Amino acid sequence: MWPVSRRWDPALRHTHRLTARATILPPEGAPFEAPLLSWSVTGDRTANVRRTVQAVLAPGVRRGLDGVTVQGGFMQLDVGVDYLDGSRELVPQGLFRLDEEDAALPFGGVSVKGYGREKIVADDRFLTPRTERNSSALDLIEALLLESVPSATVTRRTTRDASVSATTWERERFEAIDGTDSSLARSLGVEVWADGLGQFVISRVPTLSDAPVWTVDTGDGGALITAAASTSTAGLYNLVVATGDASDGSVPIGPITVRDVDPTSPTRITGPMGRRPRHYSSPLLRTAAQADTAARSLLANSLGLAAGLSFTAIPNPALEPGDVVRVEPEDGPAQLHIIDKLTLGSSGAMQCETRSTRADDEGAT
Tally of CB atoms within 10 A around 22: 24
Q: Which residues pair with 341 in a beta bridge?
A: 44, 353
Q: Which pLDDT score, from 0 to 100, does residue 56 have?
A: 95
Q: Which pLDDT score, from 0 to 100, does residue 131 have?
A: 93
Confidence of residue 294 (pLDDT cuts 50, 70, 90): confident
Does residue 314 contact residue 223 with C-beta atoms inside 8 Å? yes
Q: pLDDT tens for residues 101-124?
A: 998 766 678 999 999 999 999 999
Q: Which pLDDT score, from 0 to 100, does residue 246 have?
A: 64
CATH of span 8-116: 2.40.10
- H or E segment at 9? helix 8-13
How crowded is the C-beta side of 136, counted as CA atoms within 13 Å? 10
Whether residue 63 has pLDDT greater than 50 = yes
Quote the CA–CA distance of 106 and 203 in Å, as a whole number: 46
Q: Which pLDDT score, from 0 to 100, does residue 230 have?
A: 74
Domain ranges of the chain: 8-116, 120-204, 210-365
- Return the CATH superfamily for domain 120-204: Baseplate protein-like domains (3.55.50.10)
The per-residue b/e assignment along 273-297, b for 16 or more CB within 10 angstroms, e otherwise, is beebebebbbbbbbeeebbbbbbbb
Quote the CA–CA distance of 205 and 46 in Å, as a whole number: 11
Whether residue 363 has pLDDT greater than 50 = no
Q: pLDDT tens for residues 133-178?
A: 999 999 999 999 999 999 999 999 999 898 888 889 999 999 999 9
Name the pTM for this structure. 0.84
Strand, helix or coil at 59?
Answer: coil
Pick the closest to residue 303 from 350, 358, 252 (CA basis). Answer: 358
Say what the alpha-carbon torsion angle 292, 293, 296, 298 is, to the nearest 10 degrees.
-110
Tally of CB atoms within 10 A around 265: 21
